[in-house]
Amino acid sequence: MKLFLLSILIFLILTKIVFSIILEVNIDEEVKGKIIYETQNVSKNVVNFKSEFNNIGSVAYKARARVFVYNDSKLVFSGWSNEEILMPGDKKTFNIYFYSYPGNYESKLRFYFGNEFIEGNKTNFEINETLEPEDIFEIKNFRTYDNYVVFDILSKKSVNNVLIIPYKYPVSWIFEQKKLEKIDYFKTVSLNYYPSIWKPTSLTIAIVAEDGKYFSEKTIEMKKEEGIFKIFYNILDSLKLIL
């Protein structure tokens, strides 16, 4: 009797192991994603393109959003979100900011994920109520590294919720934005970028208060440091970012 019960127990254990292996083998690896929602929140001169993305596939991947903005069918802005990791079933929110002046615009959202992409709907929005912003920010000590840039922001005032928005860079590059909770007169900032093919180029950066009250911009030539200067500035900038 004991031998019989032991045999049944062993059989059940082996059956469970084999069944688990079969289930694991039969799960197809599928890269799939779904846009849950997309909105355009207009506040004076500042537009926040906010969207949520869901990994509905069976494998993990990295994802980021991109927004194209058109005025009279002309592309006037292309902005990227930060990159996020999504496990199967994960949902995450992405924000992209745009600063502009009164007018009628059309936007198109696109998500890139796991070497795939999916597009949202084309959406019309209007900017009709604006502020005359105050120019209080200054960019100093701009330096270019292989996949990020570093610079100092000097502010004439202490400002909450400050947006760093790259404009006017090669359309084939990825350039991430950044939102700072506060700038207390001085802040060292880094922005990630991913060039398809590197070349010296010009970059325009806008520094904007989220409420549109303050706005400054500067066009800078992106040129990588070389030799001993690259090593020196890399150490200096790394210490500044930590401190």
Taking the CB of residue 185, how many other CB atoms lie within 10 A of it? Answer: 11
Backbone angles phi, psi at 213, to 5 degrees: -75, -30
Q: How far apart are the C-alpha atoms of 131 and 191, rounded to whole Å?
A: 27
Write the DSSP symbol of residue 176: B
Structure tokens at 162: 């400050």
Strand ranges, E, within the chain: 33-43, 46-55, 61-71, 74-80, 84-86, 91-99, 103-113, 116-127, 137-144, 148-167, 174-175, 178-194, 201-209, 215-222
CA gap 71, 200 in Å, rounded: 28
For residue 68, give the nearest of 51, 54, 49, 85 by alpha carbon.
49
pLDDT tens digits for range 51-63? 999 999 999 999 9
Residue 57: per-residue pLDDT:
96
Residues 6 or more apart in contact with residue 173 via CB below 8 angstroms: 193, 194, 195, 196
For the segment 174-221, what is each residue's pLDDT rounded down to a tens digit? Answer: 999 999 999 999 999 999 999 988 999 999 999 999 999 999 999 999
Reported pTM: 0.84
Q: How many CB atoms lie under 10 A from the CB of residue 168?
A: 15
Tokens of 49: 């393109």
> pLDDT digit string (tens) for 4-13?
444 554 544 5
Specify whether the CB–CB gap between 153 and 187 falls below 8 A: yes
Is the pLDDT confidence value at 21 over 80? no
187: nearest Cα among 164, 212, 216 = 164
Q: Which of 58-67, 88-97, 120-129, 159-168 shows the lowest per-residue confidence on average (mean pLDDT)?
A: 120-129
Residue with tokens 């934005």: 177
Domains and CATH numbers, the chain: 33-127 (2.60.40.2360), 137-242 (2.60.40.10)
